[in-house]
């Protein structure tokens, strides 16, 4: 078990990673609780898979109140936040309570926003149970919900007291959900950790079969990478944009398919292929490194086919993303494996060309493996 310190404006907190990390929950809760009531926030599905393990570790401490809510993406909305807050209020929850959020990114984003807003802020510990949540959403303090007008449009920056990322939770995860998280792990390799990328090249099969030592390594390196980036730029003023590698096209693909066709990580997988192709076309990345990125992505299993989307529609969707600033799209473009530039201006014809070549680029990478 490794403890990684995550720096935030309001102090620092520990992310505890590795097999047996869950064993630390009892002690962490005991230290933080200070006489207050502990409420677990989770979903029926997550609790069915993970509840027994959580309670085994810390029954007296953690089982005081369990509030379960729907964690489908469609339920990630203000109505769910209101329901949870009303349950807390009905239980006379005061500022001294401690929330323990057990679940994937949806549970974490909703519970984190509840923590940020109930009584203007109560403490929360995150226990992420998906790969995406462990390497990404539980770290960095972004919380929030969707509006019918778009994803994650209402939210707050709010840091947890601690994060506990135990890979044993991932054993019950649907394979497609697991692979979706692997694309984000590849992202961390490309943007800032060449050793992680090398490791994935050598040990991807181990990771995909949930071999625990391999999984522990990639989770720890990913958490370190995310912690490093958000520690330097908590509010996405600059550096944090590097985390958006693959997300410019990825977000556009999700929006164009109504968030129903791709899992987020899969859209990011396509998006990283696109940004890599663009990088090579601009002469910013060697063909050799571009092929390594494509090849690793191709080895993770088959991405859902790209739907027929014109390059005009793609460019429009890219310009509409909330992360574009005043209409200017800042691309994250790799320089080599382990280093990227952000805020890069890419001429639209280049984007359109990369988009047309994308299926062939991916197929070639698959054949090459
Ligand atoms: N806050 C951030 O910085 C950030 C970063 C990335 C993603 N997100 C958000 O996270 C959400 C996606 O999160 P996700 O990929 O974790 O998906 P998710 O929370 O939707 O979970 C995926 C599915 O797996 C189930 N599940 C969770 N843990 C399980 C387990 N251990 N065993 C079996 N089933 C389990 C869930 O019930 C759900 O059906 C999106 O809403 C996205 O916007 C937020
Ligand atoms: Zn992402």
> How far away, in angstroms, is 163 Cα from ligand 1 center?
15
Q: Which ligand is nearest to the CA of 140?
A: 1
Question: Would you say the CB of residue 43 lies under 6 angstroms from ligand 1?
Answer: yes
Residue with tokens 């530039």: 341
Rounded CA separation 198/48 (Å): 36
pLDDT of residue 15: 98
Using the atom order of ligand 1, give the atom closest to the CA of residue 43: 37
Mean pLDDT to the nearest integer, 171-182: 97
Averaged pLDDT score across all residues of the chain: 94
Residue 34: predicted pLDDT: 84
Per-residue model confidence (pLDDT) at position 121: 97
pLDDT at 63: 63
Residues taking part in catalysis = 120, 142, 184, 226, 236, 240, 244, 247, 251, 264
Q: Which one of the ligands is nearest to 269 CA?
A: 2
Beta bridge partners of 331: 344
Select from 80, 105, 153, 233 the residue to mutate for testing ligand 1; criterion: most ligand atoms less than 8 Å from CB: 105
| Residue 68 half-sphere exposure toward CB, CA atoms < 13 A | 9
pLDDT in tens, 44-84: 999 999 999 999 877 666 667 999 999 999 999 999 999 99
What per-residue confidence (pLDDT) applies to 223?
98
Ligand 1 contact via 138 beta carbon (within 6 Å): no
Amino acid 8: pLDDT: 85
- On the CB side of 203, CA atoms within 13 Å amount to 18
Helix (H, G, I), strand (E, B) or coil at 322: coil
**Ligand 2 centre and the CA of 7: distance in Å?**
21
Instruction: Find the mean pLDDT for residues 253-275.
Output: 96
- Mean pLDDT value across residues 132-152: 94
| Cα 254 to middle of ligand 2, angstroms | 11
**Closest-CA residue to 335 (of 283, 297, 291):** 283
Residue 122 structure tokens? 């109560």
Note the pLDDT of residue 323.
Answer: 59
CA 184 to ligand 1: nearest atom: 6
Q: What is the dihedral of CA 56, 62, 63, 66, to 10 degrees?
A: -120
Average pLDDT for 96-119: 98
Rg value, the chain, Cα: 20
Percent of residues, the chain, with pLDDT higher than 70 = 96
Q: How far is the CA of 94 from the centre of ligand 2 (A)?
A: 34
Nearest ligand, measured from the Cα of 104: 1
95 Cα to the center of ligand 1, angstroms:
27
The token pair at 50 is: 């993970």
Task: Please give the torsion angle defined by the CA atoms of residues 48, 54, 57 and 58, in that order, rounded to the nearest 10 degrees.
Answer: -110
Pocket test for ligand 1, best of 21, 41, 46 (most atoms within 8 A of CB): 46
In sequence order, the 6+-apart residues with CB closer than 8 A to the CB of 355 are 249, 274, 311, 314
The DSSP symbol for 168 reads: G
pTM of the model: 0.96
Query: Which residue has 């506990």 as its token pair?
Result: 164
| pLDDT for the residue numbered 149 | 86
Q: What share of the chain is helix, strand, coil (3-state, %, to 5)?
A: 55, 20, 25
Nearest ligand 1 atom to alpha carbon 109:
1
**Residue 251 phi, psi (nearest 5):** -60, -40
Residue 305 has pLDDT above 70, yes or no: yes
Share of the chain above pLDDT 90, in %: 89
Query: How much is the average pLDDT of 274-280?
Result: 98
Q: Whose CA is nearest to atom 44 of ligand 1?
A: 137
Return all residues near 307 (Cβ < 8 A) that are at least 6 apart. Answer: 256, 257, 261
The arithmetic mean of pLDDT across residues 228-243, rounded, is 85
Q: Is 133 near ligand 1, meaning CB less than 6 Å away?
A: yes
> DSSP secondary structure string, 44-78?
HHHHHHHHHHHHHHHHHHHTTEEEE---SGGG-BH
């Amino acid at each position: 078990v490794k403890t990684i310190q995550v720096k935030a404006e309001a102090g620092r907190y520990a992310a505890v990673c590795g097999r047996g990390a869950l064993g630390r929950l009892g002690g962490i809760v005991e230290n933080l609780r200070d006489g207050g009531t502990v409420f677990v926030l989770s979903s029926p599905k997550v609790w069915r898979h993970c509840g027994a393990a959580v309670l085994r570790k810390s029954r007296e401490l953690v089982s005081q109140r369990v509030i379960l809510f729907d964690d489908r993406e469609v339920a990630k909305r203000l109505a769910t936040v209101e329901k949870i807050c009303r349950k807390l209020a009905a239980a006379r929850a005061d500022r001294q309570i401690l929330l323990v959020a057990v679940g994937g990114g949806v549970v974490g984003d909703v519970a984190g926003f509840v923590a940020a807003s109930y009584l203007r802020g109560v403490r929360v510990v995150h226990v992420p149970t998906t790969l995406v949540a462990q390497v990404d959403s539980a770290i960095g303090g972004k919380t929030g919900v969707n509006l019918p007008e778009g994803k994650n449009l209402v939210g707050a920056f709010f840091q947890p007291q601690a994060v506990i990322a135990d890979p044993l939770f991932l054993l019950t995860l649907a394979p497609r959900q697991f692979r979706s998280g692997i694309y984000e792990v590849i992202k961390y390799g490309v943007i800032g950790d060449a050793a992680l990328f090398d490791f994935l090249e050598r040990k991807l099969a181990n990771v995909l079969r949930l071999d625990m030592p391999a999984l522990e390594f990639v989770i720890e390196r990913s958490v370190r990478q995310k912690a490093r980036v958000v520690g330097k730029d908590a509010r996405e003023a600059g550096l944090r944009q590097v985390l958006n590698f693959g997300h410019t096209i990825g977000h556009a693909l999700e929006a164009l398919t109504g968030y129903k066709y791709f899992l987020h990580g899969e859209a990011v997988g396509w998006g990283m292929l696109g940004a890599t192709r663009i990088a090579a076309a601009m002469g910013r990345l060697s063909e050799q490194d571009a092929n390594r990125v494509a090849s690793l992505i191709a080895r993770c299993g088959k991405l859902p086919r790209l739907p027929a989307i014109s390059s005009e529609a793609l460019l429009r969707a890219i310009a509409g993303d909330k992360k574009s600033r005043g209409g200017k799209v800042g691309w994250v473009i790799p320089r080599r494996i382990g280093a990227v530039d952000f805020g890069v201006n890419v001429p639209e014809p280049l984007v359109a060309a990369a988009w047309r070549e994308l299926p062939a680029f991916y197929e070639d990478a698959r054949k090459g493996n």
